[in-house]
Amino acid sequence: MVTAIMVDGGFYKKRARQLFGEKPPEERADELYSYCCRHLREKTKTREEEHTLYRIFYYDCPPSEKSVMHPITKHTVDLRKSAIYTWTTDFFLALTAHRKVALRMGELLESSGDYVLRSEALKRLLRKEIEVDALSEKDFTLDFKQKGVDMRIGLDIASLAHKRLVSQIVLIAGDSDFVPAAKHARREGIDFILDPMWQPIKPTLHLHIDGLRTVTKKPADGAQRSEDRLCAAGGSDIQSQRSAP
């Protein structure tokens, strides 16, 4: 079986931080590649099947180069000199060093990239636990909105299915924007697997996929688990279920 793996980059980075903790860009890239390759080893009750990798498609946006003013310090921040800019650039470079990895880059909306109040700080304000004057720099985060990423995922799914280049597509993502493309792929006979990395999905989403499979252990009580320990475990404790045809 020839498998193409598609990764929603923004989703993966967020879930990876929650599941595996913070990591340097090179380690995060190695972790992502290792995670994707686990999908090539499919275990059933009677056998273990080794799939052939067609390509890993990674979808994301380049880091912002804007200059924005922080609402607390009133200082202008040049994002090109920020730690997140350096981390993201190094992460992309590390990813491209891996074999059969293709980066599909979208764009950031020009209107995005401003500082917004973190949800926890907002809740504390609404509960009147703190006053506005008590807010600090850490209570704000940059809000970026992507453009073109979902479209590129959909186009690649449709292209792979139409040209019959693969027999299986694994999508690592957490939302339902891909449903029209998934339906097209299934009509073309492609086995379509969704990996939401233990993030809950809508029950109706099962109608549009052939299987749900997460290739890492479910976090116990929200505890962080390192990728090294997961690799040592051989990925034996995975979420895998087939959806009704």
pLDDT digits (tens, 9 = 90+) for 180-194: 999 999 999 999 999
Least confident of 4-8, 41-45, 132-136, 199-203: 41-45
Q: Helix (H, G, I), strand (E, B), or coil: what is residue 210?
A: coil
CA–CA dist 196, 7 (Å, integer)? 10
Model pLDDT, residue 137: 83
Query: Which tokens hold the place of 201?
Result: 């999905």
* Helix segments in the chain, DSSP class H: 9-20, 25-38, 83-96, 119-126, 149-163, 179-187, 227-232
CA–CA dist 57, 226 (Å, integer)? 24
CA–CA dist 58, 185 (Å, integer)? 19
Considering the domain delimited by 2-61+100-106+147-242, tell me its CATH architecture: 3-Layer(aba) Sandwich (3.40)
Q: CA torsion angle for 69, 74, 79, 82 (degrees, to 10)?
A: -160
Model pLDDT, residue 221: 52
Q: Inform me whether the pLDDT recorded for 217 exceeds 80.
A: yes
In the block, which residue shows the tokens 């090539």?
40
Quick one: pLDDT band at residue 141, thresholds 50, 70, 90? confident
Q: Inform me whether the pLDDT recorded for 216 exceeds 50.
A: yes
Q: Inform me whether the pLDDT recorded for 224 exceeds 70.
A: no
Neighbours of 149 (CB within 10 A): 20
Q: What is the pTM of this model?
A: 0.78
Model pLDDT, residue 113: 58
When pLDDT is averaged across residues 147-168 and rounded to a whole number, the result is: 91
CA–CA dist 150, 186 (Å, integer)? 18
Question: Residue 14's closest CA among 134, 146, 190, 206?
Answer: 146
Q: Tell me the C-alpha to C-alpha distance, in Å, between residue 23 and each of 14, 121, 140, 186, 229.
A: 12, 25, 22, 36, 15
Query: Which tokens hold the place of 161?
Result: 């299915």
Q: Helix (H, G, I), strand (E, B), or coil: what is residue 21?
A: coil
Residue 63's DSSP bridge partners are none
Quick one: pLDDT band at residue 111, thresholds 50, 70, 90? low
Question: Residue 184's closest CA among 217, 201, 161, 163?
Answer: 161
Q: Inform me whether the pLDDT recorded for 59 exceeds 70.
A: yes
Model pLDDT, residue 109: 62
Model pLDDT, residue 9: 95
